[in-house]
Amino acid sequence: MKPINNWKLLGAENNRVDIECDGRHVLHFFVLESNVIRVLLKKNGKLQLENSWCVSPNDSLNGSEMSWQGRDRMSTEGFSCPEFTVAEQDNQLSITTASLRVTLSKPLKLTWEYADAAGNWHYLAADRHSGAYMLGVQSNDIHHYMARDLSEKYYGLGEKTGDLNRHGSRYQMRNIDAMGYDAKHTDPLYKHIPFYITKTEAASFGIFYDNLSTSWFDLGNELDNYHGYYRSYHAEEGDLDFYFMYGEKVVDVTKTYVGLTGRTIFGPKWSLGYSGSTMSYTDADNAQEQLGEFIEHCDNHSMPCDSFQLSSGYTSIGNKRYVFNWNTSKVPDPHKLSADFHQAGLKLAANIKPCLLQDHPRFEEVASQNLFIQDSEFDAPESSQFWDDSGSHLDFTNPNTIQWWKKNVTEQLLEKGIDSTWNDNNEYEVWDSNARCMGFGKQIPIKLIRPLQPLLMMRASFEAQTEFAPNLRPYLISRSGCPGMQRYVQTWSGDNRTNWQTLRYNTRMGVGMSLSGLYNVGHDVGGFSGDRPDPELFVRWVQNGVMHPRFTIHSWNDDKTVNEPWMYPEVTSIIRDAMTLRYRLMPYLYDLLWQAHKHHEPMLRPTFLDHEADARTYEECDDFMLGKDLLVASVVEQGQRVRPVYLPDNGDGWYDFHRKNWYAGGQDISLSAALEELPLLARAGSVITTSRRIAHVDAEQDTHREFLVFPFKGTGQRDLSVFDDDGVSTNYLDGQYLQLNMTLSSSLERIDLKVSREGQWQPAYKEVSFVLPETERRPFYVNGKRVMPNQDIAFSDVL
């Protein structure tokens, strides 16, 4: 490696400042927003990868508009490109916007500052003082070193195990099928998200490295006496291309990052319902019969359910799996299978994989069309280990592969009644690092774009679904991916292992993914691999799972048992109660999905995200927020029946969701945690919208809304809103939606709720009711009219 030392200004043009480094490299600064500056280093004046697929700042509300070929790396389309100044003095050069300033000094070192409301500049971050930028001489690896303050907190990097604060740890970005991983220690995992947030004592900033090669983040694990405290980024290939984004708060940085890489897909409402799944059903010789029995069990046990995810056993020949192949001995009639689920109000998602085993019935067909990634040395498809055999991976940088994939998704799944695609086993473990991808006409080695392949795979599935049903909002799932995957799919934390430690650390993984822009997430409830959960662990896992955006019970237990809601008769009623709570909260969850899509608001939130002034909220804990108003205190310890909870100091206090007792914030309390109870609190000054429909999502049968009002204990006022529509179509884009805008205010004498509406959609609920704490004695008014709590009134009377 060689450090970059000297530099000189070449010039500034439009929003770009160009710097020559060591007489041969070119450093570009792009001023994209007042709080976002991009730094791109061209080694020897050239780029290894000329396009980006992760950055999509101008995506529309109904999907990404990026070209399949990617985005020109030199493009600034979609950014505001504000005014800025460039000043050079005493071997330093400063680039200044209204809120962010970066200063170059020699040897090459960047120092970042932010402006406060009064226009005063404050230190934010800096590269380390020695060897901040290093490039490989005989290799293409790149290194970026920054100074590290011991008080800093680091969050993000997507799907990572361990504590939420990453300070002191080291991680690798390399997509891998880590089945049965240790949720506290295993690294790497399934996703490649090279973005993290630094929380300083005064402000926050994020850095996103737009590089898809294998990389490492050292956030304080390494020490070197010559350089002081530092942290580093190291990529073995590709370009040094990073976006530096300032935010007053952590949430501002996360939202900026999502605005940069693309908004969260707005899936159908049924995607938030319970989704059943297990490897066992589709592995069975009588798969269609067992799947039919699942529908009967849901009905017999009064378990609400919206979908089922078909594991890959439906494609099997012998004990191996072959994408787009229906095993008609297991599933004799796919059309009837779909019809039976639809008759029960359930949807089906089918597992699909991007690798064809060498003995796949259609392998030669695909190979003859050159649809596979090609071997680095021979004129043949690359060959990689895949499940229990070797196979070849499809190349989604080939337009013909995309069309082949879309055609098969349509003919083999959608036309047979399958509603959704589950894009799985798409880590692309192709370790012939120079295996050749078509690159849309310009050949690219796989080592530069490995995580891009699953992104393009899910986009191909997305387009197949939207072209097949243009007026329906698609629902897709993907296990692997990279920045931008939120534009297409819901995701989860992969094939976890059944134990109490996984339950605890999966929660932190989910919150970490959310801070990294992956909002629509969940976990395999009950654990995917290993021993089946005992009744207590299963109950606690379900109670935790119903408070996540994705709620799926999925398993492949070592003893061939199946994790099902009714697996333990002694706790089935408790499981039913937890799922009932989720369906009651469906309007709240759906609004959170809308807020994630429209306003980039995280659905899962660490407690500090909305309470940054409260130092206690930064301590590692098992609590999290679902939206801004529900504090979830899941039980993750065996035998625990009293749950200690720290209540963030929000200035207004909290209510026990179940008992409606009020507590002041900024204190430790103990809540009942009987096995049948999930400790849950609601923020004072909130209105939680609920439904009485405890069954699969159906807007036409959702006939009542209940507003749980948690008033300020004394005086206060807060603006709120809740979004609704038919839950399945794109008609909301044409005004067919209902948004209730509310202002909740309290005085010592009365409680008022002002409600107005936007949108033209007319819901099926004609009656509503308002529920207040039983101890509340102040009169309650809606739009100036006195309303008695717990009484049904006409919805028209509310407006």
Strand order through the sheet with 716-724 = 716-724, 738-746, 751-758, 780-782, 785-786
User: Contact 776/757 with Cβ under 8 angstroms?
Assistant: no
Tell me the average pLDDT across 144-169: 98
> In this predicted model, what pLDDT tens digit does every residue of 749-782 receive, in sequence order?
999 999 999 999 999 999 999 999 999 999 999 9
Closest CA to 380 of 388, 389, 390: 390
Tell me the average pLDDT across 691-711: 98
Interhelix angle 572-584/586-599, rounded to 10 degrees, is 50
Dihedral angle over CA of 205, 207, 208, 213, nearest 10 = -160
Bridge-based pairing state of the strands 642-647 and 316-317? unpaired
The lowest-confidence range among 62-71, 288-297, 664-673 is 62-71
> In this predicted model, what pLDDT tens digit does every residue of 537-586 receive, in sequence order?
999 999 999 999 999 999 999 999 999 999 999 999 999 999 999 999 99
User: Contact 437/443 with Cβ under 8 angstroms?
Assistant: yes
User: Contact 314/360 with Cβ under 8 angstroms?
Assistant: no
The continuous run of DSSP H or E covering 785 comes out as strand 785-786
Q: Please give the C-alpha separations between residue 592 and each of 47, 458, 755, 758, in angstroms, as whole numbers.
A: 40, 23, 19, 17
| pLDDT of 519 | 98
Dihedral angle over CA of 9, 11, 13, 19, nearest 10 = -30
Name the residue with tokens 């407690």: 607
The continuous run of DSSP H or E covering 539 comes out as helix 535-545
pLDDT at 63 over 60: no
Q: How many CA atoms lie within 13 A of 408 on its CB side?
A: 20
For residue 495, what are its two tokens?
């094939």
Which pTM value belongs to this model? Answer: 0.97
> In this predicted model, what pLDDT tens digit does every residue of 103-116 receive, in sequence order?
999 999 999 999 99
Distance of CA 603 to the CA centre of its chain: 9
Give the chain's largest Cα–Cα span: 82
CB atoms within 10 A of CB 70: 22
Closest CA to 644 of 682, 604, 615, 679: 679
- Which domains does the chain show, CATH number per domain? 2-58+73-261 (2.60.40.1760), 603-799 (2.60.40.1180)
Q: What is the mean pLDDT of the chain?
A: 97
Q: What is the Cα–Cα distance from 617 to 606, expressed in whole angstroms?
A: 8
The radius of gyration of the chain from alpha carbons, rounded to an integer in Å, stands at 27
User: Contact 371/399 with Cβ under 8 angstroms?
Assistant: no
Q: Please give the C-alpha separations between residue 483 and each of 144, 372, 480, 518, in angstroms, as whole numbers.
A: 20, 24, 11, 9
| pLDDT of 165 | 98
**Is residue 62 very low, low, confident or very high in pLDDT (cuts 50, 70, 90)?**
very low
User: Contact 75/68 with Cβ under 8 angstroms?
Assistant: no
DSSP 396-413: TTSHHHHHHHHHHIIIII
Tell me the average pLDDT across 72-87: 96
pLDDT at 212 over 90: yes
Q: How much of the chain exceeds pLDDT 90, in percent?
A: 97
Name the residue with tokens 């707005």: 266
Residue 145 zone, left/alpha/beta (φ > 0; ψ -120 to 50; rest): beta
| pLDDT of 797 | 85
Closest CA to 710 of 734, 735, 680: 680
> In this predicted model, what pLDDT tens digit does every residue of 612-667 receive, in sequence order?
999 999 999 999 999 999 999 999 999 999 999 999 999 999 999 999 999 999 99
> In this predicted model, what pLDDT tens digit does every residue of 429-482 receive, in sequence order?
998 999 999 999 999 999 999 999 999 999 999 999 999 999 999 999 999 999
**Is residue 291 very low, low, confident or very high in pLDDT (cuts 50, 70, 90)?**
very high
**Is residue 60 very low, low, confident or very high in pLDDT (cuts 50, 70, 90)?**
low
pLDDT at 64 over 70: no
